[in-house]
Structure 1
């Protein structure tokens, strides 16, 4: 097989659609091994040259290495404190005449550059004058190019020359650091280089000693542009450190902390000085769990729009803050001990801004749901594993919150919420677009009401309900004309439900069928043939592997994801079900004369999920 020596390469502007065309010229020089790639470039070189010519609206040939057709030669660039990493030779195309020191790059680029326009395509290519083709790119455009690179490529690119190092540091907006105590001595140098960081994440594992108040204080002084901060496992940060940080970072708009040791006083200082704070997330804050200190609203009460409280023993200390934030739009309370009915009763009176509410595993009853229903502008509601919530509370929500668009209910299979509450939702909430029912005992009556009245329903998930059968799915297929995504998990459906989906739901694009023992892979194959553009995720399980109720659906997996695999069925590990019913189905449809089924991608379905995550 012949190999080709690249002799010229350039981008040209297409006058018709203003796109850039990449052209190459070759000269056949000899044979090459099939394992040796003839293209000597890496993606970084192509990306930078592409944007160079696109931004400058000019056409120039690309300088290419003479090492073709061999594999791209790799070099080692040593970083301080890290192992040397390989970098392809194409990165060296841009290092000439950039003023780098010998400690940064210690090689010559002459042997890797060729003249832009060789005089003879058949003779030996001569080396021409060396040019820095990135010299004309403004720093702002170079920063935009860096933003398109992944973390590893961007880190290596910063070592090419001093200018790239400077531009990379000045253009960094997000930074995530391992917040161990050893980082304290490096804080000044880190934030001298990255002086424009607006979003900072500091994480420390449980077995390590985290940074302390001094380090956090230095960060707050040097990061003048900081607007978002996330602390995870920073157990050495105390209330004094939080006070100093809040005084220096008054432009903070988003704060999140988890598994830290500072208490209510630290949060109060943050609410006092950070007057622009909009989002507050508190998770597993240990010192808040003890003592009688309360969280007071402070100046941030006028700007706070989102509050998330998770796994707090003494979550009621945030009661005053939740009640006094009149601009609050999002409230999430997850696994926090204490009686939350009183908090919601006080909050529900007069808060017209609240639109998104998530209540999970709380001591909450219909009284709390009735109170939250007074916030008439709620359009998204999650009621997850609250055993004291029943149809009565859901009816109250439906009658008052008529703008509801998203409703997620995890009934925990205790039959407290069923047809009565869902029929009220169907009657009072015609704008419903997303409905997720997990462990809720629903029948044909409520499903028919929802399918008939909620004509804008686009996303539907039915999980762990033995009452959902072929009739309910057929009703959905016939009446939910706007439905785009459907998830059925652990329900008593058969191949006839799949057949109904094939003839209904004209806008359906994604379907997920899990742990439904009555559904065969042949039926799913036929569904895919009937709707070729449909994306289907399906696992075939043994008949005795799961009862019709899908007992393990709610406890282990409530997240519903649709893998993007156009034209394929995603099938799980279990063997497909085959019995006499399938033969009847094939005979009825008359479409299974051949056993040649579409290709499948096999994977093990995940059994991990968080009920607080979106199901669709």
Structure 2
């Protein structure tokens, strides 16, 4: 790796997966490649629980890095100095990395940063780490995916301080720790919200109505695996989300009556997708198409099946490995909606890591295939399932 770095000093993008080098090799790369803009590291075998503890960074590349993506690392916190020293960093993705990330996020947030996009997926992170992100005043995109220690408290802190938030994806994993209180804060403070994805979150009509009323720029909405979103909530969305253009409802107790509301509501709606809602029939699809001929209606009224959730879609276009959801959680799945246009002590920490690994099985069970939103490409506005 040191030899590669010395001979490729103009390198701008670097991605590696399941490699055998460790912190020394990574530091050699970052010290020599001072123009590096994108770094993606997945399963770096010599950075693990029993390996070297040499920190990664600061380094010459810190001044040029714009994107850092860390996936399935045992000791990813070693990248903390690199992340906190990268003052021009725009995108940070921490996906299925073991260890306690609260201190790392605190260190990142207190430094002067330019973060615009943050993805937290299957991490041991609590409201301490999530609230730290509220110091990222330029934050526009936030994904909180299967982080069960994050609650309304952390989301409220982000909502109150990150006024530029445009895209918010929450996979609550049906833990009911993020719900109405957090969503009401989003409704009060996120006037620029354009895209909202809620999976395994159980809001009521009050919080949904507040979002529909106050977030007048909301164009893309996905509601999946919620036990509380029924016809009344859907009718509220139909009547108040005037800017809404694309909607997905999946695995919710919605009936034909709720779908019928879109015959008159959401005047800018161009696409609606309803999947695995037991009380929705194919007849309502034909009825809705007859009344709004320009509206693309996609109905899947097949029997509901238990699926895994993959809400990240956060690998720069590369399909992520799917991690199996515990059998006690029945769920639906969805990834991200694309834009419409092109425009504690060491022993204590070790114990927490072991518990987290055992509880969530971060690196096991990849036999499931996710059902996702396909990226919106020019000239193709259809929802479909990726496999």
Q: Distance in 1 between matches of 2:157 and 2:107?
A: 17
Q: Distance in 1 between matches of 2:55 and 2:172?
A: 33
Q: Which secondary structure does the structure 1 equivalent of 2:218 belong to?
A: coil
Count residues with an aligned counterpart: 327
| Aligned position for 2:66 | 305
Q: Distance in 1 between matches of 2:163 and 2:244?
A: 20
1:554 Cα deviation from its structure 2 partner: 6.8
| Aligned position for 2:92 | 331
Q: CA RMSD in A?
A: 2.3
Q: Which secondary structure does the structure 2 equivalent of 1:286 belong to?
A: coil
The answer to whether residue 126 in structure 2 is matched with residue 365 in structure 1 is: yes
1:245 Cα deviation from its structure 2 partner: 1.3
Q: Distance in 1 between matches of 2:278 and 2:373?
A: 27
Q: Which secondary structure does the structure 1 equivalent of 2:232 belong to?
A: helix
Q: Distance in 2 between matches of 1:305 and 1:390?
A: 29
Instruction: Tell whether the 8 Å contact from 2:170 to 2:199 is kept in structure 1 after alignment.
Output: yes
1:412 Cα deviation from its structure 2 partner: 0.5
- 1:97-176 mapped onto 2 (5 Å cutoff): none
Change (3 A) 1:518 1:528: same
| Aligned position for 2:263 | 502
Which of 1 and 2 has higher RCO (CA within 8 Å, sep 6+)? 2
- 1:416-495 mapped onto 2 (5 Å cutoff): 416-495=177-256
Q: Which secondary structure does the structure 1 equivalent of 2:135 belong to?
A: coil
Q: Which secondary structure does the structure 2 equivalent of 1:323 belong to?
A: helix
- 1:547-566 mapped onto 2 (5 Å cutoff): 555=331, 557-559=333-335
- 1:163-312 mapped onto 2 (5 Å cutoff): 242-289=1-48, 290-312=51-73
Change (3 A) 1:395 1:554: farther
1:534 Cα deviation from its structure 2 partner: 1.8
5+ residue gaps, structure 2, are 310-326, 339-367, 377-382
Instruction: Tell whether the 8 Å contact from 1:384 to 1:611 is kept in structure 2 after alignment.
Output: no
Instruction: Tell whether the 8 Å contact from 2:173 to 2:329 is kept in structure 1 after alignment.
Output: no
1:536 Cα deviation from its structure 2 partner: 2.1
1:297 Cα deviation from its structure 2 partner: 2.2
Instruction: Tell whether the 8 Å contact from 2:174 to 2:329 is kept in structure 1 after alignment.
Output: no
Q: Distance in 2 between matches of 1:561 and 1:248?
A: 40
The answer to whether residue 162 in structure 2 is matched with residue 397 in structure 1 is: no
Q: Distance in 2 between matches of 1:447 and 1:373?
A: 23
TM-score (norm 1): 0.51
1:351 Cα deviation from its structure 2 partner: 2.8
Q: Distance in 1 between matches of 2:262 and 2:203?
A: 19
| Aligned position for 1:384 | 145
| Aligned position for 1:512 | 273
Q: Which secondary structure does the structure 2 equivalent of 1:424 belong to?
A: helix
TM-score (norm 2): 0.80
| Aligned position for 1:25 | none
Q: Which has the larger radius of gyration?
A: 1
Q: Distance in 2 between matches of 1:481 and 1:552?
A: 38
Deviations 1:246-283 (A, max 9, x none): 11111111100011111111111110111100110000
Q: Which runs of 4+ in 1 moved over 3 A?
A: 550-556, 610-616
Q: Distance in 2 between matches of 1:447 and 1:408?
A: 15
| Aligned position for 2:135 | 374
5+ residue gaps, structure 1, are 1-241, 563-606
1:552 Cα deviation from its structure 2 partner: 10
